[in-house]
Amino acid sequence: MPGDLASHAEATVLHLALPSVSAIDKPRPYDLDDGDVYMSSYENRFRLFSSVEYEGQLYMTPLNFIESVTLTEPKTKRKWKSLTKKELEKTLVDTPPVWKGSSNLFRNLRERGVISYTEYLFLLCILTKPHAGFKIAFNMFDADGNQMVDKREFLVLEEIFRKQKDRKESAEDVQRSDHQSLQLYGHRKSYAHSVDERLTETTLLVHFFGKKGKAELNFEDFYKFMDNLQTEVLEIEFLSYSKGMPTISEEDFARILLRYTNVDDISGYLENLQQSTPDDKGITFEEFRSFFQFLNNLEDFTIAMQMYNFASRSVGQDEFTRAVYVATGLKLTQHVVNTVFRIFDEDHDDKLSYKEFIGVMKDRLHRGRRGVRVEEKFTSFKSCLKKQLSGK
């Protein structure tokens, strides 16, 4: 390990009186900045929703995680429950193998499981990843290129996810952060040997690698896990509005859509919807799911939208639908597209400008930061990957 990294491995860390959220109860080998220890908005949220503690470390249950990405705050204030080793082992007994996963995994497990802080950040990343990026994510974990991921490879790249997410960013920090993360990627094999063998088993580790940690994860199962997690969270949100019905209202669709943005006052958008020509027949779950999958591909769609701007062409509903399909391969229904135009078309000309739609949606807040109005910007996993591929 290079000398400068080794010296940082010995840097003093902040010892909190409260239980730590760290997955490793010691200074992390790649904490590159002495000033990097702080209470991030993600860390605050993890602490807020966590309900169990084991050997000084906080953990979420599967139900805690679901609540953290679907609620503004916990339903009830709770004290952290301390687990013994025997209780922890009993908690993990019901964890199914990854090939038995489903879009009800977290709802089925509820309190029977534990999720570390690093895993929490990894799961948050999954929620906003486009399906096309699943293979890239898997290949990043697959350090030796054998198309299988073992437990040690997973732990190393999981830590890089944490470093990318859990960091104070400023405009000056972005380039430095990307460079450091790539240094981590380049050293991931040597870092694998420093992963603490005594790491607590968690629901995710048992689910992916079995109770003995010897199983390996293939891409098909990894893809299904990521897709199931996205679907499960969307189902929970949809069902909270549909109340047993097969559809949600167009107004509820607007409310869900806008709650992930920096828009503080959504009344103007709801008025747009109400004043336009009614086309209210409800939004089905498949329409709802397809639209949020599209939003995970917003960067590629933005490029398609810019092409229309360069050609001085207005973006009507047909152009919007085509741009979505070209950029993402998703076919949105005419009703969903019409509803989106009713919400965002501020001047009611049946055209969408960059400002009207992209300008609002590009600053969507991450689910893991709901209710936390902060201006910090985090370096994207995609940006890190682009730099790595270009050799910069």
Residue-level pLDDT, tens digit, the chain, 392 residues: 444 433 332 332 222 234 556 543 333 332 333 333 344 688 889 999 999 999 989 999 999 999 999 888 888 777 889 999 999 999 999 999 999 999 999 999 999 999 999 899 889 988 888 888 888 888 888 888 889 999 988 888 776 666 655 554 333 344 444 444 444 344 333 333 333 434 579 999 999 999 999 999 999 999 999 999 999 999 999 999 998 899 999 999 999 988 878 787 888 889 888 887 677 789 999 999 999 999 988 888 888 777 776 655 668 899 899 989 988 889 999 999 999 999 988 888 888 877 778 878 876 655 655 544 333 333 334 444 444 444 44
The answer to whether residue 237 sits within a structural domain is no
* Helix pair 334-344, 267-275: axis angle to 10 deg: 120
Q: Are residues 164 and 192 located together in one domain of the fold? A: yes
How do 52-54 and 81-82 pair as beta strands? Answer: parallel
Q: Between vectors from CA 21 to CA 211 and to CA 134, what angle results, nearest 5°?
A: 60
The CA distance from 117 to 24, in Å, is: 10
- Please give the backbone phi and psi of residue 82, each rounded to the nearest 5 degrees, phi first: -85, 130
| 96 neighbors 105 (Cβ within 8 angstroms) | yes
Q: Are residues 348 and 385 located together in one domain of the fold? A: no
- Structural domain boundaries, residue 72: 3-230+376-390
Q: Are residues 143 and 186 located together in one domain of the fold? A: yes
Q: Are residues 355 and 300 located together in one domain of the fold? A: yes
Q: How confident is the model at residue 375, as a pLDDT?
A: 31
With CA atoms as reference, report the closest residue to 134 among 221, 48, 193, 260.
Answer: 221
Q: How many domains does the chain have?
A: 2
The answer to whether residue 89 sits within a structural domain is yes
Q: Are residues 196 and 340 located together in one domain of the fold? A: no
Q: How confident is the model at residue 222, as a pLDDT?
A: 93
Q: Using a cut of 0.85, tell me whether the model's pTM lies above it.
A: no
Q: Are residues 42 and 179 located together in one domain of the fold? A: yes
CATH of the domain at 322: 1.10.238
Q: Are residues 28 and 168 located together in one domain of the fold? A: yes
The CA distance from 114 to 91, in Å, is: 8
- Please give the backbone phi and psi of residue 25, each rounded to the nearest 5 degrees, phi first: -85, 60
Q: How confident is the model at residue 48, as a pLDDT?
A: 92
Q: How confident is the model at residue 278, as a pLDDT?
A: 72
Q: Are residues 221 and 128 located together in one domain of the fold? A: yes
In terms of C-beta density within 10 A (0-12 exposed, 13-18 middle, 19 or more buried), how is residue 95 classed?
A: buried
Q: How confident is the model at residue 89, as a pLDDT?
A: 92
State whether residue 218 is helix, strand or coil. strand
